[in-house]
Structure 1
Amino acid sequence: MTAPPPVPRRGALALLASTQLLLIMDTAIVNVALPSVGEDLGSGSRGLSWVANAYLITFGGLLLLGGRVADLLGHRRVFLGGLGLLAVASAAGGLAPGADALVAARAAQGVGAALAAAAAFALLLLLFPHGPARHRALGAFAAMGGLGGVLGTVLGGVLTDVLGWRATFWLNVLLAAALAVPALRILAPRTAAAPRGGFDLAGALTATAGLGLVAHALVGAAEAGWLSARTLGAGGAGLALLLAFAAVETRAAAPLVPPAVLARPALRLANVLAALAQTALFPMFFLVSLYLQSVLGYAPLGGGLGLLPLSLVVVAVAPQAGRIIFRVGLHRAMTLGFVLLCAGTLWLALALTPDGTFASTVLAPSLLLGAALPLVMVTTNVAATAEAAPEETGLASGLVNTSQQFGSVLGLAVLVAVAAARTGDTTRTGAAGAARAAAETAGFRAALLTGAALAALAALLSVRLHLPERAAAPEDRMPDPY
């Protein structure tokens, strides 16, 4: 076969990586706008929390199903459908007359994001074969994800201050349309694999409901309490449905997740490591921004800009991840990434002081974390998708995206709870000045130390990861499927 033309592959990578930027940015940008939403719509803290949580629940609950639907119906079709739903739901959010309508719009946004995210990642796996080309593509994904987190924080502050919180939703409409138009040209139609034995409806229902209820329990635990009836009820029901899902999959003619796929040891461990990476990483962004604002006194925009050096390092290091994997091997590069993540989080925790400055507390360890982030993200994604056959790309995408999303949700819930427990009653009783700052700093430090422990656990587990030998076709012999 002749070598594929480079321009379509580069254009497709730019398109798919930009989609990753949009989805990560959407999570951050709305969080920044929440206080303004509450003032405008008269919503209390509980209503505001569900503006964020509704998105997380549907996004996390539908990623697995979205990946499998993309395998069956066509990745381009599901990708465009997800972007379209995201745009329509964002417009509904921009027009929402009240908190209830906004929560419904956010839930619909999560559905669209799950479809677009799973299909985009599957398209990347199809477009770039296993090997250096995929490593570079995943590096671009990691770079855009890191950039999206900071852009979301910065743009959220700017748009909310200048145009109001509704502008953050209309930005999503414009960006989704800007991605859909070139997608029609760059991503050629592709026939989906016909499902054998029909669609696994029982598996789809039990998996989606189970994941959604578990996500509901996690995101609501901080508000309702970890041992509350609501948290235990939702979590228990979700786990029961996931057990039912496991039983259904052993009997289904065309299972949503074939048991043979989950029987692969490397795949299971890679997904656990992907979840642990996000459990340590995702809360760190939130905690650092909160520390800069509540302890050091930065404005919301300044808190977001404080993460800019970290993101610049991510953008610089991510394209080199493929070379590092080639030089030292996948599992060594992964272990190095988790060691750097542990060291950076530990350094950050010990550097925090109630009377510090950005330069003396956050700057240096954040640069180390910026180097760790793309290494752990790229290597865990490579390992989690390396054994996927072409007809399993959506499934592999859904699995690793689900692992990462639930790692993010679990990490934020647990680490925020650790911070609150360590802070104690100081902030609730109205303590002022030095006492309040010291208590909050102690809480952030305890949470980050927990994150460092999770990163250390992941580093130890990564040593056990060994992918089976496989013959990857040279890049210049692989046909470009698009």
Structure 2
Amino acid sequence: MTQTSSNPTTRDSRWAALIVLCTGMLMIVLDMTIVNVALPAIQNDLGFSQSSLAWVVNAYLIAFGGLLLLAGRLGDLIGRKRIFLIGLGVFTVASILCGVSGSPEMLIAARFVQGVGGAMATAVTLGMIVTMFPEPGEQARAIGVFSFVAAAGASVGLLAGGVLTQSLNWHWIFFVNIPIGIVAAVLTNRLVERDRGIGFGEGADVLGAVLVTGALMLGVYTIVKTDEHGWGSLHTIGLGALAVAALVAFVVRQTRAANPLLPLRIFRSRNVSGANLIQIMMVAGMFGMFFLGTLYMQKVLNYSALEIGLAFLPTALAIGGLSVGLSARLITRFGPRPVLIVGLVLILVGLVLFTRLPVGGTYFADLLPAILLVGIGAGLSFPTLMTLAMSGATQSDAGLASGLVNTTAQVGGALGLAVLATLSTARTTSQLAGGSAPAAALTSGFHLAFGIGAVAVAVALVLAVTLLQSQPTVAEESDEDELLADAA
């Protein structure tokens, strides 16, 4: 059982601590998309080739996606607050190194370190939140705030990247993290209770840690390199097979280790397993809206970086308005499963609308309805998925469950981006070879990708309907408690 300090955390300080944790989380989430807008400026300044430029993003993704699960479990073992603070420190120092980078090699290395720090801080945040807010109603509202930060941060990052790059220069997309990281660390140290962790017991599962970290890093690396080698190449198939073999060896190891890194008991809950599977498919499908939607606005509609950020702002507002308030009340009233199903239906309809975007599309007639539907659906879906994914976690496994749900989101995003971008490019190339105009060829490729994204979300919807179990609402639990009290 995790031990906490003797001073009880007051209601007000818990909510203040939540804001601080989410501020640190926001800094990390923003960094994932804020860099995308600045890539052309970084390429011109540091002399990146077109192929090497992708590693500004890939280096971060490999470290971040590969270490989330390990970082989450380390939080359970030695204290989630400790891991969070170390992660913030590593991320902030790496941001300084990114900002002062004078060569491609230095920036790529610093981005890898940034991914390490981001994984450590992100993996334990949700686990800290659910232990601070054990009461279902408060926990739903707290998870809603976290979900807003995690989901809306991508949209805000596009806007912030455009503003900073155009008004200052690309260095400031990294320098802006420094004061945020310092303030978040200081306030976390003051407001968040210290937890000692459950300890290493019979020893740490070092072999398991090596296997799962290697499998995830190799898997993410294989996925992000498919745009260069293709899905059917020896490079992709060979490394993919190695990643799968390492993952299988990890699962076998977890059945035999005295103190496993990932206790398989966490998957006994259909809701926990189902929520993670659904999140992989949902994020894979949704990722196309941000990445390919950005390319559509930039290359077909000729939007500037700032205009693209403003175009996606309604998504952030919709996710924020729902995640922070309405979603929590709906989950409390109806339970997470019905709310999630409605959210997935709205995302699906929004992506279908994206498949109908014309070459000469206008924002209010063509883009805004689709963007709003996806934003509203995400605002309903992310908090419910977080609630379901953490529903089977014990006090000692909260960090692990938190790291797992963040890992599935990253795997879904990386897989979705690789599949959708590769197929979109292939369709565009085919259309150009057939004599289509560039704008028409690009739009055709985007249509295919959005359609595949819609299929992925449809699969998530089927999983939600068939796998998830209904949970008693807070009102039903209160009635049951009253009956038990009367019987006593």
CA contact (8 A) 2:296 2:443 kept: yes
Instruction: Give 2:25's aligned amino acid.
Output: Q
Q: CA deviation at 1:459?
A: 1.0
TM-score by length of 1: 0.93
RMSD: 2.1
Partner of 2:342: 336
Q: Distance in 1 between matches of 2:28 and 2:205?
A: 28
Aligned in 2, Cα 1:471/1:28: closer, same or farther, shift over 3 Å? Answer: closer
Contact 2:156 2:316 in 1 (8 A): no
Asked whether 1:321 is paired with 2:321, we answer no
Give, in angstroms, the shift of residue 326 of structure 1: 2.4
1:386 pairs, out of 375, 378, 391, with 391
Partner of 1:307, secondary structure, is helix
> Identity over aligned residues, as a percent?
38
Q: Give 2:241's aligned amino acid.
A: G
Query: 2:24 matched to which residue of 1?
Result: 19
Is 1:189 paired with 2:194? yes
- Residue type of the alignment partner of 1:451: G
Q: How far does residue 425 in structure 1 lie from its aligned partner after superposition?
A: 4.2
Structure 1: distance between partners of 2:459 and 2:272: 18
CA contact (8 A) 2:140 2:332 kept: no
SS at match of 2:437: helix
CA contact 2:335–2:471 (8 Å) conserved in 1: no
Q: 1:106 aligns with which of 107, 111, 115?
A: 111
| Cα separation, partners in 2 of 1:425 and 1:123, compared to 1, 3 Å | same
Map 1:181-330 → 2, pairs under 5 A: 181-318=186-323, 319-330=325-336
Contact 2:274–2:468 (CA<8 Å) still a contact in 1? Answer: no
Q: Deviations over 1:417-471 (max 9, x none)?
A: 2211221245589x7xx81111111111111111111111111110123448689
The amino acid of 1:439's aligned partner reads A
Q: Which ranges of structure 1 fall in alignment gaps of 5 or more residues?
A: 475-482
C-alpha distance in structure 2 between counterparts of 1:341 and 1:246, whole Å:
33
Q: In the TM superposition, what are the counterparts of 1:76-91 in structure 2 within 5 Å?
A: 76-91=81-96
Asked if residue 74 in structure 1 is aligned to residue 76 in structure 2, the reply is: no
Task: Decide which moves more: 356-365 or 263-272.
Answer: 263-272
Post-superposition CA distance 1:255-295 (Å, at most 9, x none): 00112223333321111011112111222111111111111
Q: Please name the residue that 2:453 is paired with.
A: 451
Residue 40 in 1 paired to residue 45 in 2? Answer: yes
Aligned to 1:477: none
Instruction: Say which is worse superposed, 189-198 or 72-81, in terms of deviation.
Output: 189-198
Displacement of 1:154 after TM fit?
1.6
1:124 to 129, 142, 147: 129
Whether the 8 Å contact between 1:21 and 1:147 is mirrored in structure 2 is no
Report whether the alignment pairs 1:413 with 2:404.
Answer: no
Q: Is the 8 A contact 1:383 1:467 kept in 2?
A: no
Does 250-259 or 457-466 show the bigger shift? 457-466
Deviation at 1:116, TM superposition (A): 0.1
1:290–1:303 Cα contact (<8 Å) kept: no
CA separation of 1:275/1:71 partners in 2, compared to 1, >3 Å: closer, same or farther?
Answer: same
CA distance in 1, matches of 2:269, 2:393: 11
**Structure 1 residue 195, shift from structure 2 partner:** 2.2
Deviation of 1:29 (Å): 0.8
1:354-373 matched pairs, under 5 angstroms: 354-373=359-378
1:348 to 345, 348, 354: 354
Q: Which amino acid aligns with 2:352?
A: L
Residues in 1 aligned to 2:459 and 2:389: alpha-carbon distance in whole angstroms:
18
Moved more, 459-468 or 51-60: 459-468
Match of 1:176 in 2: 181
Q: Which moved more, 1:159-168 or 1:268-277?
A: 159-168
**Partner residue, 2:481:** none
Pick which of 3-12 and 93-102 moved more.
3-12
C-alpha separation between the residues in 2 aligned to 1:167 and 1:101? Answer: 17
CA distance in 2, matches of 1:157, 1:237: 39
Q: Is the 8 A contact 2:14 2:192 kept in 1?
A: no
Choose the corresponding residue for 1:28, options 21, 33, 39.
Answer: 33
Structure-2 change in CA distance of 1:270 and 1:130 (3 Å): farther
Change (3 A) 1:469 1:377: closer
Give the Cα–Cα distance (whole angstroms) in 2 for the partners of residues 416 and 179 of structure 1.
Answer: 35
**Aligned residue for 1:441?**
443
- Matches of 2:433 and 2:29 in 1, distance apart? 32
Provide closer, same or farther for how the CA distance between residues 440 and 158 of structure 1 changes in structure 2, counting only shifts above 3 A: same
- Separation of aligned partners in 2, 1:115 and 1:133: 25
Indicate if the aligned counterparts of 2:301 and 2:360 stay in contact, CA closer than 8 A: yes
Distance 1:276 1:141 in 2: 20
Does the Cα contact within 8 Å between 2:160 and 2:309 map onto a contact in 1? no
Q: Which amino acid aligns with 2:351?
A: T
The 2-side partners of 1:109 and 1:276 are apart by: 26
Task: Give the one of 452, 459, 462 matched to 1:460.
Answer: 462
- 1:399 maps to 404
User: Which segments of structure 1 move beyond 3 Å, counting only runs of 4 or more?
Assistant: 425-429, 465-474
> How far apart are the structure 2 equivalents of 1:452 and 1:259?
31
SS of 1:250's partner is helix
Q: Secondary structure at the match of 1:90?
A: helix
Distance 1:308 1:197, change over 3 A: same
CA distance in 1, matches of 2:248, 2:121: 27
Rounded Cα–Cα distance in structure 2 between residues aligned with 1:7 and 1:104:
41
Distance 1:48 1:302 in 2: 23
What's the TM-score once normalised by structure 2's chain length? Answer: 0.92
1:49-64 pair list within 5 angstroms: 49-64=54-69
Check conservation: 1:257, 1:395, Cα contact below 8 A.
Answer: yes
Looking at structure 2, the residues matched to 50 and 460 of structure 1 have their Cα atoms a distance apart, in angstroms, of: 35
Please state whether the residue corresponding to 2:360 is helix, strand or coil. coil
The unaligned stretches of length 5 or more in structure 2 are 1-6, 479-488
